[in-house]
Amino acid sequence: MHQFIQQYRGFAIASFIAVGVTVALSLHWFLYQHHADGWAQPVDWSASTTQQPLPSLRTLAHEHGLAIGAAVAMEPLLNDPTYSTLVAREFSSLSPENAMKFELLQPQRNQFQFAAADALVDFAQAHKMTIYAHVLVWYRRLPDWLVKGHWSRDELKSILKHHIDTVVGRYRGKIAAWDVVNEAVNMEGTGLRDDFWRQGIGPDYIDLAFEWAHAADPDAKLFYNDFGGEALGRKSDQIYQLVKGLRDRGVPIHGVGLQSHFKLWKLPSLKDIAANVQRLSDLGLDVEFTELDLRVHKAWGSQTDKLNRQAQVYQQITNLCLTAPRCRGITTWGVSDQWSWVRFVLQQPDAPLLFDQNYQPKPAYFAVAQALRSHP
C-alpha cells in the first residue's frame, strides 16, 4: 500500500506539473497572439480610477480636432439628469440610437413624428454638440405600412425620396453627418443584401439615397455605415468596392462609418483595421468609428482582467484614430453599461462601454483619456 501511494503521489505531481506548464504556455501563446494582431499587452488600469478630476474626453479630443460621441437613448437623455449631465460634459457629438429611424420618424405614411428627434437636436444645440445622425436608409426598423405595401419601383423611389427630403430638410444646417445607408452589404461579403430596398428599387437605391440627401442638405457629410468590415477581409473588400464605385460615379459620399461592435474574445487584427482605414482614406473618404462598444462577458479571466484588456482595446482604437489621416471621430454605441443595447436587445450581462451601470468611469474611460492626453 505504501509503495502504491509513493508511486501514485509521483504520478500526481508529474501530472500537476504537466498541466501547469500547458496552461502557462497556452496563456503565453494567447497573449503573444493577441499582441501579434497589434493589440498591445494589457496593463493595470484599476489604479487610474482614483485619478479625479480629469479634463473631460470632450476637452481632450477637441485639442486634436477629434469628435468624441455617444449614441443616446431619449428616455434617460430627457429624464435622467445624471445621464444628460455626463453626456454634455464628456461628449462633443451625439447620435440618436433609435430616434431617427424610419419606423419612428414616419410610423404612418406621410405622418411624421419628430418630437424625439427634435429634442435630441435641441439638446445638442443647447450644449454646442455636433450631431452624427443615424439613419436614413436601413433594411430594419421599417414601419408596417411600408413593408406590407405593394409598391412599384417608382412608387418606392418616391416614398424614399419623400422621407429623405422631409427628414434631412427639417434638420438642414443642424446635422454634421448622416448615416445615409446602413448595412447594405451582405454578411458573406459577396455583394449587396437582397433586402427590402434592393428588391423594391434595385441596387441603385444607394446612389439615389446619397444624391437625395445631398440635395436636401448640401453641407452635411454623407456616410455609408456598416459592421463587420472594420478590418481587411471579404466584407470590408465589398464595402471598399461599393464606396469606390459611388466615388467613381460622382455620387456625393464623404465617409465610411465602421460600426465596431467588438468582442474581447474575438478581436479583429488592429493592423488590418489600420490598413482598411488607410485604403478608405486613400479614396478621399473620411472614416469614423460610429458604434464602438466592446463586449467582454465571454472572455477568459477575472472581471478586473477583462476590463483592463477592454481598456487597452479602447486605447488602441483611439490611438489609431488619432494617427489615421482621415479618421474624424469615435462614437460609442451608448453612454453607460446599463443602457447598452447588448443588455437590452441581446439580453447579455455585459459591460461594453466607457461608463459602468452607476455612470462611473471604467478603466476604458481612463485609457481613452490617456491616449488623448498623451498624443502629440
CB atoms < 10 A from the CB of 250, how many?
9
Q: List CB contacts of 333: < 8 A, sequence separation 6 or more.
A: 70, 71, 97, 259, 261, 291, 292, 293, 340, 341, 352, 353
CB 337 within 8 A of CB 349: no
Interface with ligand G3I, residue 79, by CB under 6 A:
no
**Known catalytic residue: 188?**
no
Element (H, E) at 190: none
Number of shown-chain residues binding ligand G3I (CB under 6 A): 12
Give the nearest distance from C-beta 348 to ligand G3I in angstroms. Answer: 12
Among 35, 108, 344, 360, binds ligand G3I (CB under 6 A): 344
Mark whether 63 is an active-site residue. Answer: no
What is the rounded distance in angstroms from the CA atom of residue 158 to the CA atom of residue 109? 12
Residue 10 — φ and ψ, nearest 5°? -65, -40
Shortest distance, position 278 Cβ to ligand G3I, whole Å: 24
Can residue 28 be called a binding residue for ligand G3I (CB under 6 A)? no
Taking alpha carbons only, the member of 168, 350, 322, 331 closest to residue 252 is 168
Instruction: For residue 166, state whether it binds ligand G3I (rule: CB under 6 A).
Output: no
Of 183, 211, 230, 288, which one is the catalytic site residue? 183
**Binding ligand G3I by CB under 6 A: which of 259, 310, 312, 332?**
259
Query: Which residue in 9, 141, 172, 298 binds ligand G3I (CB under 6 A)?
Result: 141
Decide: is 337 part of the binding site for ligand G3I (CB under 6 A): no
Could you tell me which of 287, 291, 304 has the C-alpha nearest to residue 345?
Answer: 291
User: Do the beta carbons of residue 83 and residue 76 sit within 8 Å?
Assistant: yes
**Per CB under 6 A, which of residues 262..291 are in contact with ligand G3I?**
291
CB 283 to ligand G3I: min, Å: 22
Quick one: 38 or 189, whose CB is closer to ligand G3I? 189
Rank residues 228 and 363 by Cβ distance to ligand G3I and give the closer one.
Answer: 228
Task: State which H helix or E strand residue 224 sits in.
Answer: strand 221-226
Cis peptide before 135 (omega within 30 of 0): yes
Q: What is the grid cell recorded at 221?
A: 457629410
Rounded Cα distance, 119 and 12, in Å: 67
What would the grid cell of residue 269 be? 487584427
Question: Which residue, 366, 246, 349, 244, is CA-closest to 303?
Answer: 349
Residue 119 corresponds to which cell in the numbers above? 429634442
CB of 141 to ligand G3I, least distance (A): 5
User: Shortest distance, CB of residue 338 to ligand G3I, whole angstroms?
Assistant: 12
Which residue, 223 or 366, is less far from ligand G3I as judged by CB?
223
Minimum distance from CB of 24 to ligand G3I (Å)? 38
Interacting positions 89-118 with ligand G3I (CB under 6 A): 97-98, 101
Burial 356-366 (b: 16+ CB within 10 A, else e): beebebbbbbb
The residue among 171 and 366 lying less far from ligand G3I, judged by its C-beta, is 171
Is residue 341 involved in binding ligand G3I (CB under 6 A)?
yes
Distances in Å between the alpha carbon of 190 and those of 52, 118, 272? 49, 38, 19
Interface with ligand G3I includes 186 (CB under 6 A)?
no
To ligand G3I, the closest distance from the beta carbon of 226 in angstroms equals 8
Active site residues: 183, 291
Q: Which residues bind ligand G3I (CB under 6 A)?
A: 97-98, 101, 140-141, 182, 227, 259, 291, 341, 344-345
